[in-house]
Amino acid sequence: MATQHPDFSMLAARISVSNLQKMTLKSFSETATKLHEHVHPVTKQPAPLLANDVYEVIQANKEKLDSAIIYDRDFEFDYFGFKTLERR
């Protein structure tokens, strides 16, 4: 329908962004903590998805990083732009 009117592309993007945000945490630093404390589902062994040095930098600057990331900006993408970023 986006070929009929560009607003359909914005509508599809907003629905997709909304669904994505419902599945994620509201805080960047909390997400980093969850990635760092990841446990492998089969072996039940710690399997961090974030390097220790990166995690330490995020935690040292978490107030600044959390305030800099404005999740409402995600709604400014059209569907093609959102899907392109989602795949990356």
Percentage of residues in the chain with pLDDT exceeding 90? 52
Question: CA-CA distance, 35 to 55, in Å (whole number)?
Answer: 9
Question: CA-CA distance, 64 to 78, in Å (whole number)?
Answer: 28
CB 79 within 8 A of CB 9: yes
Looking at residue 20, what is its pLDDT?
A: 87
Q: Would you kindly state where each structural domain of the chain is located, as residue ranges? A: 26-87
Looking at residue 50, what is its pLDDT?
A: 94
In this prediction, residue 85 has a pLDDT band, given cuts at 50, 70 and 90, of: confident
In this prediction, residue 65 has a pLDDT band, given cuts at 50, 70 and 90, of: very high
State which amino acid sits at residue 59.
Answer: Q
| 37 pLDDT above the threshold of 90 | yes
